[in-house]
A and B are shown apart, each in its own frame.
Chain A
Amino acid sequence: MAPTPASFSVLVEVRLREGIADPQGATIERALPALGLSGVTGVRAGKSFRFSIDADDEAAALAQATVVADRLLANPVIEESSVTVSPAAQP
């Protein structure tokens, strides 16, 4: 009997690779003193994506989500991504 597909929640975070200048993060960091904050450094801006995948198991969901992250959501020339998969909450 074929396994029953289940739904998995996916979180993909995309950020610039180390060493790639991040003008957005730098600009955010320069704005922080206006909040009266000091000591916040190393701000890096990125993007996060959430979606659901139907797959036979978590490993299959991770494999599919990784394809989505590598082929579309991130530009590997300048960005890297991390993928987190978890069973979808039951309705």
Chain B
Amino acid sequence: MTARVGVVIFPGTNCEHDAVLAVERLGASADLVWHGDTTVGGYDALVLPGGFAHGDYLRPGAIARFSPVMEAVGRFAADGGPVVGICNGFQVLTEAGLLPGALQKNRGLRFLCTDVTVRVESSTSVLTTGVPLGTELVIPINHFEGNYTCDEGTLARLRDEDRVVLRYVDNPNGSVDGIAGVCNEARNVVGLMPHPERASDPLLGSVDGIVLLSALLRSAVAGPVEPSVQATVA
């Protein structure tokens, strides 16, 4: 079965074609979904790609959260559909309350555009299913606000519930506990700052992003995360 991926775009999103191309080259079909749409029917997975949704005005993701499509994304997530937010998409998902925490300005106030090494810390999210724990992946980051922040109680829960999906091997931005990616309780919503679609061809310097995108497509084909499964892993 071919996975059907919806790539959600807002005014100011700029990584959508990279995301479409990367998943198409892995055998999936992909469409762009406009932020004004009120449904996301017919897709097996959703990707919120990187960029500057609504100009990142106020805070990254703060306005995007009110786009009509976000209600549909919320329903898709609540029904167990795989949702992945990359970079700005991660920021949108935290502002929308679909993921905990927030992304603050980088420590040192530097815009970071560089390859980083991240370690897979959980093999049970929709983005890392079947990927061995401890797998190290070289994937680029490209952000000013990627410094993952949450309160101590939230951090303790994320650790206890195995919801830290990716950690930086060498923390580039001051993220608490070196967190590069997290998932929700049901493990079907994942946000990460690195750009796996930019590490999907030898010409780009790394193909390690394929490990994550392939896992997402496996999750997409497997269908929505069942409530019973959610209960056992939550």
Contact = CB atoms under 8 A, between A and B. Distances in A.
A77 B149 contact: yes
A75 interface: yes
B58 A20 contact: no
B107 interface: yes
Contacts of A72: 58, 62, 66
B150 interface: yes
B109 A20 contact: no
Contacts of A27: 109
B105 A78 contact: no
Contacts of A77: 94, 100-102, 149-151
Q: Which bucket holds chain B's interface residue count?
A: 20 to 34
A23 B108 contact: yes
Question: Which of B66, B100, B102 has the most chain A CB atoms inside 10 A of its CB?
Answer: B102
A75 B106 contact: no
Residue of A21, A24, A75 contacting most chain B CB atoms (<10 Å):
A75
A53 B151 CA distance: 33
A21 B106 CA distance: 10
Interface string B131-164: 0000000000000000101110000000000000
A interface, how many residues as a size bin? 10 to 19
A73 interface: yes
A81 B106 CA distance: 22
A24 B105 contact: yes
A24 B105 CA distance: 8
Contact of A23 (B58, B66, B100, B106): B106
B174 interface: yes
Contacts of A78: 102, 104, 149
B16 interface: no
Interface in B86-120: 94-95, 100-102, 104-109
Contact of A20 (B62, B66, B94, B104): B104
Given A75-B95, A78-B149, A21 B107 contact: yes
Interface in A1-50: 20-21, 23-24, 27
A26 to B, nearest CB: 9
A78 B61 CA distance: 14
Contacts of B101: 77
Contact of B107 (A20, A23, A73, A75): A23
Given A21-B149, A23-B104, 8 more contacts: A23-B106, A23-B108, A23-B109, A24-B105, A24-B109, A72-B66, A75-B59, A77-B94
16 contacts: A20-B104, A20-B149, A21-B107, A23-B108, A23-B109, A23-B147, A23-B174, A24-B105, A27-B109, A72-B58, A72-B62, A75-B62, A75-B95, A77-B100, A77-B150, A78-B104
Interface of A: 20-21, 23-24, 27, 72-73, 75, 77-78
